[in-house]
Structure 1
Amino acid sequence: MQFYRLLDALRAFVAARSGAFYVRCYFAALLLLGLCLYRDYGLSWDEPVDRINGQVSAKYIMGLVAPGWSSTRPGYAITPDIHGFGDNDHGVLFELPLVLLNQISGIDDTRIYYLMRHLAVFLVCCVGTWALFKIGRVRFQKTSIGLAVSTLLLLSPRFFAESFYNGKDLVFVAVFTLGIYTLVRLLRRPSVGRAAVHGLATAAAIDIRVLGVLLVALTIGMLVLEAGFGTGGRPLRWKLAQVVTVYLVVTAVATVAGWPYLWEAPVQNFSAAFLHLSQYAVWKGYALYWGNVIPVKQLPWHYVPVWIFITTPLAYSFAFVLGAASVLFAAIRRPWAYLRHFENRLDLLFHAWFFVPIFMVIGFHSVLYDGWRHLYFVYPALLLLAVRGAQGLWQARHLYRWGRPLAVGAAVLAAGEMVFTVRGMVQAHPQQQVYFSFLPGPAVAQLFERDYWGLSYREGLEWIAQHDTSPQLNVTGQINGLIHNNLTIMKPAVRARFRIGGSGKGQYFLGGYRTQPTPYPDSLGKEVHVVKAFGAEVLSVRYKE
């Protein structure tokens, strides 16, 4: 008898823990995948600049706490001072620890540093993926649906690739999503402790990009809704007042602590940083949009919606439209009854998370470029609303005669697109950042920017090194800075063979496709190699005797 009781207890334990076991296996597999792939990606435009931003703040901090030690470190003499530095108002919460670790360890090889940075970007993005899973599980009350939401993020090719090198936008996506999760936890069970944790997450987002202040607005708005429609009555409202106070204090203190630029004049410098964000127009470049080369200051209002649509898998987009429309319709139809349910209030949070930043950018005519990367942080909200739409469509198969064939047909098409997307991601590796959802390669070449990050230059340089045994390889390019950047992440022995613009017999030319809609002329040399991804040319390697 005791044996059977023990067996039943064991079965119950395994059943209860199976969900947690599968979740651990899921994220362990994700980490293993990242460890296998993080060395493969090239160096993007912004990474050397971001490193300098971290070095400037590191020099400032070490000058305060250990001026004698910092003055002896190599490179500090040529590192700009934080006062008067052009990018001193950029958050450095991610870059600063990497730079300090590099200085303490004494690692001089740029390859080691940037590979370490790529791994760090990926690990932070894993935290964001975990946070998205937790949000999905809370909202839909199923572990399987939470994992489905996080899987949709992983199977978004551009986001997958950029989670290995984009220390600005993808790290911000991850930390902002973590901030939304701490907000959801706070809304479920308000407490001073959870308010403090959410304040730390909000400060972390602000200290990466000042746009993280949107978390403050979303938090206040959701707490107001909770006070009006929660079930706790007056005691809940009193607790929420305490929560707001703690949250705002922790956010303010932690934001200043994590951003050295604010230390000397917190209010003044934060205001300057926020003003700089709203009026940012430093880069005076051009964008290839619908076949026209347009100054980034003159891009039309539909630039962001179009880029979101053409770079998001079609199934996600259509499911998002269903989810967003159903939430809006239900909220307008019976607003007071709708707001009394916690899950419905979360749907409104996702709505605000997605739409408010986009409307702000359009309304204020903000300067954007490089696709929609500055608004990547709204993408998790799109996925959550897409799952909401897919769930509603699947449930319709029990309510309407036409529901079953429609739901099953949509599921089959979505699964087919997912398989097609995974296949394309594998074939395009490591250039998934040039993914377009439905446009064929020739159309992409004529209408939109491709590798605006310049990562493909690494693949071109490695091809040259593998196929040309000459001790010196002379290279030049459309932009020599991208060649220099990508040489810094290559092995030292290979790097030493290259000369940018060097003299001698035989010259290689590397031409990337950003605002270049047509092939490079033969006058630059015979095309000996082409880097392609998703059917579109990304980089041309040419050789002239």
Structure 2
Amino acid sequence: SPLIFAHSFYNSKDAVLMSGVIIASYFSLKFLKDPRSKKALIAGIFCALAITIRIVGVFVPVITFLVLIPNLKADKVKPLLFYIFSIVVFTFVLWPLLWKNPVKEFTNSFNEMKNFHETSSTIFLGKTIPGNKIPWFYVPFWMMLTIPYTQVLLFISGVLTFFKSPVNNTYKLFLILWFVLPLMTVIYLKSTLYDGWRQMFFIYPGFILISISGLKYILDSRVTVIKIFIITLVYINLAQAVLFINKWHPNQNVFFNILAGGKAEISNKFSLDYWGLVYKQLYDFLSDFDGRENIKVYIDTFPGETNLRMSKTPQKFVLTDSMVNSDYYLTNFRSGVVLEESKKVYKVAVDGVEIGAVYKVN
């Protein structure tokens, strides 16, 4: 996925949490397969690590508990209790915030997670909406449009295969809960989400594993034509994703699949470069375009300030507090301010979708 690949460079929370959840889930599945104290200890340590990255990592032990409890036998009670004990102990040890008052601070963190106090808005389906007012289908809709289309199709196939047979397999049930439980929780709690679905990246591995189940079901089919068609489609889409990353780096984060529609629709309907990565390119262009030693620029988003430090000549630029006192206006279109086309001296586009521009204002 170009989106996940891009976030792996700079997203220090959501991408890291996804990795933590993968590792914790792997060892929790090993514990479920063979519930012994040693495996409970290892799984508990990695679950604690996931929780300390972001508290939503608690979903891993919750899912493990839900999978194990229906078929819990007497010989599994002790390992399960040791698993829970390990998580509690190592979460406390690895999370300094809890050292003074564990119960109070953990509860505060959990409540903060449920209703994160963030004033950011997001552009979704052509409307600018606050992060705490998003519709219930926000996350699945974003996923459907920003994940390579073959993964989406194979996911649907995987879900259908799960419904064809009873969910009595530990691995299968774990995957379903990995994807569904967090999704249903944020919908039920009406949690604050913004900037795409990055806060929910940790369910993507579950999505992928369900997709692989769908692929396996198709490959086990006796219809050779269908198998050849699906394999060809997967390779073509994989090649498209790799080529997209190579062509549009470092802006491959602005990735939409064919289900999103045309370029004009994407530009007007969704938040694009919400990280403001494009600002570095805008500053670097302006440094070459304008030879003066002091260039007054106006920016109206925080990433515009942070990216200035990473530009090749930060000393040339003077940030102003208004467009009136500036030579240029730099934007990633997050604020909604768009000037006349005649004032535009430079733009950055990804696959025809404009994500940033420099305007000459004075």
Q: TM-score, normalising length from structure 1? A: 0.63
SS at match of 1:510: strand
Partner of 1:204: 49
Partner of 1:85: none
Indicate yes or no: 2:289 matched with 1:486.
no
**Residues 514-533 of structure 1: CA deviation (Å, up to 9, x unaligned):** 363xx82139x721211111
**Residues 384-432 of structure 1: CA deviation (Å, up to 9, x unaligned):** 1111101111111x2xxxx222222222222222222221111110011
Match of 1:320 among 140, 147, 155: 155
SS at match of 1:462: helix
Q: State the shift of 1:193 in Å.
A: 1.9
Match of 2:340 among 507, 522, 534: 522
Q: Is the 8 A contact 1:182 1:194 kept in 2?
A: yes
CA distance in 2, matches of 1:360, 1:442: 33
Q: Is the 8 A contact 1:203 1:255 kept in 2?
A: yes
Q: State the shift of 1:225 in Å.
A: 5.1
Task: Compute the RMSD of aligned alpha carbons.
Answer: 2.2
Partner of 2:250: 430
**Residues 289-309 of structure 1: CA deviation (Å, up to 9, x unaligned):** 111222333221111111110
Within-5 A mapping of 1:200-349: 200-224=45-69, 227=72, 237-238=74-75, 240-280=76-116, 282-331=117-166, 339=168, 344-349=169-174
CA distance in 2, matches of 1:355, 1:502: 46
Q: Is the 8 A contact 2:64 2:174 kept in 1?
A: no
SS at match of 2:104: helix
Indicate yes or no: 2:335 matched with 1:537.
no
CA distance in 2, matches of 1:205, 1:180: 10
CA distance in 2, matches of 1:428, 1:388: 31
Indicate yes or no: 2:208 matched with 1:383.
yes
Indicate yes or no: 2:291 matched with 1:469.
yes
Partner of 1:180: 25
CA distance in 2, matches of 1:432, 1:225: 44
Partner of 2:229: 409
Q: Is the 8 A contact 2:339 2:359 kept in 1?
A: no
SS at match of 2:123: strand
Counterpart code for 1:420:
Q
Q: Is the 8 A contact 1:207 1:259 kept in 2?
A: yes
The structure having more radius of gyration, on CA atoms, is 1
Counterpart code for 2:148:
P
**Residues 145-187 of structure 1: CA deviation (Å, up to 9, x unaligned):** xxxxxxxxxxx01100000111111110010111001112222
Q: TM-score, normalising length from structure 2? A: 0.93
Runs of 4+ residues over 3 Å off in structure 1: 225-228, 502-506
CA distance in 2, matches of 1:534, 1:169: 26
User: How many pairs were matched up?
Assistant: 359
CA distance in 2, matches of 1:312, 1:514: 22
CA distance in 1, matches of 2:345, 2:58: 49
Partner of 2:320: 501
CA distance in 2, matches of 1:247, 1:462: 52
SS at match of 1:164: helix
Range with greater deviation from structure 2 (460-469 or 360-369) = 460-469
Range with greater deviation from structure 2 (406-415 or 269-278) = 406-415
Q: Is the 8 A contact 1:434 1:534 kept in 2?
A: no
**Residues 362-384 of structure 1: CA deviation (Å, up to 9, x unaligned):** 12222211111111100001111
CA distance in 2, matches of 1:260, 1:459: 39
CA 1:408–1:265: 2 relative to 1, 3 Å: same
CA 1:507–1:356: 2 relative to 1, 3 Å: same
SS at match of 1:452: coil
SS at match of 2:80: helix
Match of 2:178 among 319, 344, 353: 353
Q: Gaps spanning 5+ residues in structure 2: where?
A: none
CA distance in 2, matches of 1:166, 1:250: 29
CA distance in 2, matches of 1:505, 1:167: 35
Q: State the shift of 1:506 in Å.
A: 6.9
Within-5 A mapping of 1:143-182: 156-182=1-27
CA distance in 2, matches of 1:188, 1:362: 31
SS at match of 2:348: strand
**Residues 322-354 of structure 1: CA deviation (Å, up to 9, x unaligned):** 1112113211xxx6xxx3xxxx32011111000
SS at match of 1:174: helix
**Residues 10-47 of structure 1: CA deviation (Å, up to 9, x unaligned):** xxxxxxxxxxxxxxxxxxxxxxxxxxxxxxxxxxxxxx
Within-5 A mapping of 1:190-201: 190-201=35-46
Q: State the shift of 1:257 in Å.
A: 1.7
Match of 1:395 among 215, 220, 223: 220
CA 1:474–1:432: 2 relative to 1, 3 Å: same
Identity %: 27
Q: State the shift of 1:502 in Å.
A: 8.4
CA distance in 2, matches of 1:505, 1:186: 63
Q: Is the 8 A contact 2:332 2:357 kept in 1?
A: yes
CA distance in 1, matches of 2:361, 2:112: 45
Q: Gaps spanning 5+ residues in structure 1: where?
A: 1-155, 229-236
CA 1:296–1:514: 2 relative to 1, 3 Å: same
CA 1:542–1:392: 2 relative to 1, 3 Å: same
SS at match of 2:359: strand
CA 1:544–1:404: 2 relative to 1, 3 Å: same
Q: State the shift of 1:478 in Å.
A: 3.0
**Residues 63-118 of structure 1: CA deviation (Å, up to 9, x unaligned):** xxxxxxxxxxxxxxxxxxxxxxxxxxxxxxxxxxxxxxxxxxxxxxxxxxxxxxxx
Match of 1:450 among 257, 261, 272: 272
Counterpart code for 1:463:
F
Q: Is the 8 A contact 1:288 1:448 kept in 2?
A: yes
SS at match of 1:246: helix
